A and B are shown apart, each in its own frame.
Chain A
Amino acid sequence: DAKTTQPPSMDCAEGRAANLPCNHSTISGNEYVYWYRQIHSQGPQYIIHGLKNNETNEMASLIITEDRKSSTLILPHATLRDTAVYYCIVRVSGAGSYQLTFGKGTKLSVIP
């Protein structure tokens, strides 16, 4: 699986949009971008994933650049409960490849 690079930490004011970047310059054509987050003392939680089109769900939006070398996870209105470590993971989706390789992630602190 391709390697990802994320900033170690970010701050965001409560109610503002949180934009978390991820660089994955060696991504292959069949690799998806997945985002998970881990709130303190809990197990990781799936947020969203995408291949090349932008994606949106009830939790977040995922913007993937046209060359697919980077992406941004957007939390449109951050709350204190969004304080967590956010992991960007690149992996092939589909039969025979289900494991996740977690990096260090970005520690997002939402500030009142």
Chain B
Amino acid sequence: DAGVIQSPRHEVTEMGQEVTLRCKPISGHNSLFWYRQTMMRGLELLIYFNNNVPIDDSGMPEDRFSAKMPNASFSTLKIQPSEPRDSAVYFCASTVAGGHNNEQFFGPGTRLTVL
């Protein structure tokens, strides 16, 4: 099993540009989570999906952020327009909702730098 796959692993962009982060959850998992990690704020949940449906997006910082999950094997997190304060590591995680221990499996993260 390849685990949760995220791309790109590193992204450097300029302020104002659109950024799209991608995630492929573990096959068979039906819940997907997007987190953001910064030194100042630690690990924060942005949004999560159950069966491809967004359940809680209260952590999405503002309208510049949007997330989609068009099918069970793919999700995107888009920032448009990007700002320097969006620089962070973005993690995607997946789990089997209702599973034995709800263990979340995290991807390697995407390190985003907005200049």
A104 to B41, CA, bound (A): 9
Contact B43 A99 (CB under 8 A): no
A103 to B43, CA, bound (A): 8
A42 to B97, CA, bound (A): 23
Interface size class of A (residues with CB under 8 A): 10 to 19
Cβ contacts under 8 Å, A43 to chain B: 4, 91, 93, 106-109
Interface: A100 (CB within 8 A): yes
Contact B48 A44 (CB under 8 A): no
Interface: B14 (CB within 8 A): no
Interface: A26 (CB within 8 A): no
Known: A94-B98, A98-B31, A99-B56. Contact between A44 and B42, CB under 8 A?
no
Cβ contacts under 8 Å, B109 to chain A: 41-43
Known: A43-B108, A102-B43. Contact between A93 and B102, CB under 8 A?
yes
Interface: A45 (CB within 8 A): yes
Interface: A101 (CB within 8 A): yes
A93 to B107, CA, bound (A): 22
Query: Which of the listed residues A42, A95, A99 has the most CB atoms from chain B within 10 Å of its own CB?
Result: A99
Interface: B15 (CB within 8 A): no
Contact B98 A100 (CB under 8 A): no
A104 to B42, CA, bound (A): 7
Interface: B45 (CB within 8 A): yes
Contact A49 B101 (CB under 8 A): yes
Residue of A nearest to B93 (CB): A43
Cβ contacts under 8 Å, A95 to chain B: 97-98
Contact A103 B101 (CB under 8 A): no
A87 to B43, CA, bound (A): 11
Residue of B nearest to A102 (CB): B43
How distant is B86 from chain A, measured CB to nearest CB, in Å?
19
22 pairs from A and B in contact (CB 8 Å cutoff)? A38-B43, A41-B109, A42-B108, A42-B109, A43-B4, A43-B91, A43-B93, A43-B107, A43-B108, A44-B91, A45-B106, A46-B101, A46-B105, A93-B101, A94-B102, A95-B97, A98-B33, A98-B48, A98-B95, A99-B48, A99-B56, A103-B42
